[in-house]
Structure 1
Amino acid sequence: MSVKNANLRDFIESLLSESMSSVRKANNCDYDKAKLVLSDLIMVAASGTILDDDARAFAKKMINEQRQATILGLWKKTSLLNSMMANAFSAHSLELDDWMPYGFFHASAAIIPPLLAYGEIYSYTLEEVIDSVFFGYEVGARLGGFLGRQHFRYWHPTSTVGGVASASSLAYLASDGSLDEVEKAFTLSLGYSSGIWKVIMSDVYLKPFSTVHAVFLAYLSNESREVIKKPSSDFFSSDKTLCKLLNGECNYEKALNVPWRLAIEKTSIKLYPIARNIQTVVQACSKIKQNVKPNEIESVTVEVFEEAYQVADIENPQSIDEAKFSLKFVASLSLVDEVNGIRSISAGLRNPLVRELEKKIEVKTREDFSLLYPSKQPVRVIVKTKRGETIEVYEDEPIGDISSRNIEAIINKKAEMLSKDTGDLRLLAIPNAIKNIKLNESIGSVLEKLL
């Protein structure tokens, strides 16, 4: 397809065709990475159910008489749809699910719960599920690039982009990769996607409903594929209208000429239970902490890119939910102690040293830093001490890059952290269990072992 003469209908077909082509390029190393992503999602969702009051209450509400698919963390079975929704909510509740910077969305929590549920019920193999994960990440990253940062300013892409990616990946699994059937699911879900940032950021406890919405779109789009025709030509009549409604950029170039072989290579595993765009703030502050004590600090300046600055105005948080999205609190905690699981956030809220240092932190946005995003997530932390010294640290790459050489060690460290926080020793076994399962085995066999 010519980017110059692009239209929405041709674009969607090209996006899906290119995404399918990318999946066919996957090699053994890619499947190993995908196993890590899958391990991460299962650990995080289970931990969310155990640790988060809202996630646990929602999961319990989802239990019914049907014994079809597993609710992670409760380790009980329920109906197909209820399993998808419970696991999607819990996976996003701790803010520990992975982040796809090129699509501006949390990919695993939106894409994987439906694939696990359908895979468990219909005995899909691990390879089939992973291929669908590849495809969902590809669609989401490309669609997110198409809509761009302008969309991200007003909408929560985990609900919008994530919903379309989830529906597309599930259709890919259920239809054995039929382009026609996937296109149906894509367009149906695109027509109903929603997620308004202003509402979500004013009440952050609503955020996990974005992934519930995404997987519900996947379920609805796929269960209706056989009875609903493709959207009419009117749906495609004006890409400008669609982009105007979604505050998008309609950037065909970013969606079709992508800087990756497989989009999943660009995802980032989150080691810290905080907003996805301030992970590098923790890294920078943690390095500074090695050279200065909290009571020696006179002032702190944190220079960030635009998306990180979005959480700079959440001051004096009173709850864990608020604290996870407060840049000043996270920076202060990292300078005083460390961000090591949900319990460390809770302890930080009660620590007078952390709360006092928060007041000394100033956050500034830098245009040159913003231009580097999403390929980089640049921050510079500048600490001035009471002795007149200045300490600066610059960071621009989150340590959880799935393509990094030590990513397996990071996943295992995360498993230890979550197992300690939850008291559930099963979480320690998840990475190794999934690593050792053969691609031709059913995804249900992994869950059975955990049960």
Structure 2
Amino acid sequence: MTPPTAIDRLADWICSLHADRAVRNIPASVRSIAANCLIDTIGVAFAGSATAVARTARAIAVDAGSRGDAAVLGSHHLFSAPAAAFANATSAHALDFDDNCYAGFVHGSAVIAPAAIAVAQKRNASGRDLLTAFIVGSECEYAVGAATNSVLYDHGWWTTGVLGPIGACAAAAWLLKLDRRQTASALGLAVAGTGGMKACFGTDAKALMAGRAAEAGIVAALLAAQGASGPHDAFEHWNGFNGLFNQGEFNLATMAQLGMQWFLESPGVDIKRIPLCLSSHAAVDAAMALVARHAIDVAAIEEIVCDVPQIVFANLIYNQPATRQQAQFSMPFAIAVSLLYGSVQLQHLDGAVLQEQPVLELMKRVKMTVGPRWSLEGACEAAPEGANVRIRLRGGDWLEEFQAQARGSAQCPMRQDEIEAKFMQCMEAGSAGNVHGQGGSGNGGDRDTGALLLSRLKSIETLPSVRELFSVR
């Protein structure tokens, strides 16, 4: 007998959750984590809906003339599920303020949540079903991500673009209640058509590719629902995922962990405290801790050296950023703005801040290096985006701080009130951007709207229908 493929195993698990009793076996802790992921992702999507790249995505959705039942943030119109997922996932990743997961080094929620919401609205599904679909998509995507053993990411593929369609497709397939054959075909279509390069970093392509990943996953599920076939061996085929993307490596055993080990719990999801690439966060935390502990006058700093893993060095490529997108991948910007302003907020991602003389001067004093500590066995596994920060003050004194995990990571999570405060700040940012002409007025949120939406999201499992999720009534 031919052994089951990776897609067979994914499809089997997805379809096993069609029974209500099986859904009830999802641990409450997992559902709680997933609910916070939805809160965080919808918040950052509202803020991102005011950006130029989100407006571009909405314009394409409008131009396609696609009408349906799914809401798009920043628009009064309802769109087809693929169009809505494209626009909303672009918004969710536009500010790089969305969550991460180390199972694949992937931005999961920004792709999966918009896809799940769009299909749930198309199907007039309940909030409970939306949350379950999000969990299904997340677990499938992270299982595949874990199976790559980071080879995919290390070889220059952008995992959000490559793995995102898998998570979006799994969520959509579950909501559409595809049978096992259809589910496997949908996943085969999603895997066979996937792609994404890290060359997108620092440009609009990064957010737009997140949008395309969400759209592609839904389209694959809808095609399979209409009878289209897809390769069930899309991973193992000699011209498949494993060989073309992952240097022939793939740990099929992770598929067997679905439903027993929950990837939303371990390695967990990292919710961002500041709107920058997560690679900079631990270094920022370490630098801020040094300044606070030693009451350092920032003007007295001569040099800041951040000793980081190779992955951080490779991600943060802009020492002299000229745009918002470049600033989000700049260690000097992250450190300088944090020390000068006390934190990095959405309003700091502005061209004017990049031109401020104190920011420019402090950025020149920040350096990154990859020291020998990261070659020690287990060092990168224990602190995948950690940092050892040394600050030299005028007069020659050095101060040092090591930070293994950033605050907001799964190992050092934000408090519930901090997650909710971030949500409200994002809602206000989206509302301000829309009011000032930077986006369609649509359903961008003010504080009252934000409070209403937050209340709905906190009780998502009791909502009879998600079609009114973003309604201000």
TM-score by length of 2: 0.84
Which residue identity lines up with residue 399 of structure 2 in the other structure? Answer: I
Cα distance 1:73–1:288, how it changes in 2: closer, same or farther (>3 A)?
A: farther
Match of 2:354 among 349, 357, 370: 349
Aligned match of 1:411: 419
Which residue identity lines up with residue 163 of structure 2 in the other structure? Answer: V
Which residue identity lines up with residue 70 of structure 1 in the other structure? Answer: A
* C-alpha separation in 2, matches of 1:218 and 1:421: 29
Aligned match of 1:36: 36
Does the 8 A contact of 2:72 with 2:87 survive in 1? yes
Q: Output aligned runs, 1:162-181, within 5 Å.
A: 162-175=164-177, 178-181=179-182
Aligned match of 1:224: 223
SS at match of 1:118: helix
Instruction: Give the superposition deviation at 1:11.
Output: 3.0
Match of 1:274 among 273, 276, 284: 276
Aligned match of 2:6: 11
In structure 2, runs of 5+ residues without a counterpart are: 433-445
* C-alpha separation in 1, matches of 2:54 and 2:236: 41
Range with greater deviation from structure 2 (363-372 or 214-223)? 363-372
Does the 8 A contact of 1:111 with 1:166 survive in 2? yes
* C-alpha separation in 1, matches of 2:161 and 2:256: 22
* C-alpha separation in 2, matches of 1:293 and 1:107: 39
Which residue identity lines up with residue 325 of structure 2 in the other structure? Answer: D
How many aligned positions are there?
441
Aligned match of 2:48: 48
Range with greater deviation from structure 2 (60-69 or 41-50)? 60-69
Which residue identity lines up with residue 37 of structure 1 in the other structure? Answer: C
Aligned match of 2:89: 88
Which residue identity lines up with residue 244 of structure 1 in the other structure? Answer: G
SS at match of 1:354: helix
Which residue identity lines up with residue 165 of structure 2 in the other structure? Answer: G
Aligned match of 2:462: 439
Does the 8 A contact of 1:288 with 1:392 survive in 2? yes
Match of 2:402 among 371, 394, 404: 394
Does the 8 A contact of 2:382 with 2:404 survive in 1? no
Cα distance 1:115–1:331, how it changes in 2: closer, same or farther (>3 A)?
A: same
Does the 8 A contact of 1:95 with 1:274 survive in 2? yes
* C-alpha separation in 1, matches of 2:245 and 2:225: 27
Does the 8 A contact of 1:289 with 1:334 survive in 2? no
Does the 8 A contact of 1:240 with 1:250 survive in 2? no
* C-alpha separation in 1, matches of 2:47 and 2:172: 24
SS at match of 2:349: helix
Range with greater deviation from structure 2 (162-171 or 399-408)? 399-408
Does the 8 A contact of 1:300 with 1:361 survive in 2? yes
* C-alpha separation in 2, matches of 1:256 and 1:239: 23
Aligned match of 2:157: 155
Cα distance 1:255–1:410, how it changes in 2: closer, same or farther (>3 A)?
A: farther
Aligned match of 2:437: none
* C-alpha separation in 1, matches of 2:187 and 2:372: 35
Match of 1:308 among 306, 312, 334: 312
Higher relative contact order (CA 8 A, sep 6+): 2
* C-alpha separation in 1, matches of 2:387 and 2:257: 28
* C-alpha separation in 1, matches of 2:61 and 2:313: 36
Cα distance 1:211–1:408, how it changes in 2: closer, same or farther (>3 A)?
A: same
Does the 8 A contact of 2:304 with 2:367 survive in 1? yes
Identity, in percent, stands at 20
Deviations 1:380-431 (A, max 9, x none): 1110111322221221223224586753122122124324433332234433
Which residue identity lines up with residue 322 of structure 1 in the other structure? Answer: Q
Instruction: Give the superposition deviation at 1:242.
Output: 3.3
Instruction: Give the superposition deviation at 1:208.
Output: 0.8
SS at match of 1:261: coil
Aligned match of 1:430: 453
SS at match of 2:270: coil
Instruction: Give the superposition deviation at 1:170.
Output: 0.9
SS at match of 1:62: helix
Instruction: Give the superposition deviation at 1:271.
Output: 2.0
Which residue identity lines up with residue 445 of structure 1 in the other structure? Answer: E
* C-alpha separation in 1, matches of 2:308 and 2:237: 36
Instruction: Give the superposition deviation at 1:66.
Output: 2.6
Does the 8 A contact of 1:48 with 1:56 survive in 2? no
Does the 8 A contact of 2:57 with 2:87 survive in 1? yes
Deviations 1:339-393 (A, max 9, x none): 3322123253132122111112221124654744466332111101113222212
* C-alpha separation in 2, matches of 1:359 and 1:405: 32
Cα distance 1:427–1:280, how it changes in 2: closer, same or farther (>3 A)?
A: farther
SS at match of 1:41: helix
Which residue identity lines up with residue 272 of structure 2 in the other structure? Answer: K
Cα distance 1:217–1:25, how it changes in 2: closer, same or farther (>3 A)?
A: same
Q: Output aligned runs, 1:200-349, within 5 Å.
A: 200-201=200-201, 203-228=202-227, 230-231=229-230, 235=234, 238=237, 242-248=241-247, 249-253=249-253, 256=256, 261-265=261-265, 266-290=268-292, 291-346=295-350, 348-349=353-354
Which residue identity lines up with residue 39 of structure 1 in the other structure? Answer: I
* C-alpha separation in 1, matches of 2:88 and 2:231: 34
SS at match of 1:443: coil
Range with greater deviation from structure 2 (321-330 or 226-235)? 226-235
In structure 1, runs of 5+ residues without a counterpart are: none
Root-mean-square deviation (CA), in Å? 2.9
Instruction: Give the superposition deviation at 1:57.
Output: 3.4
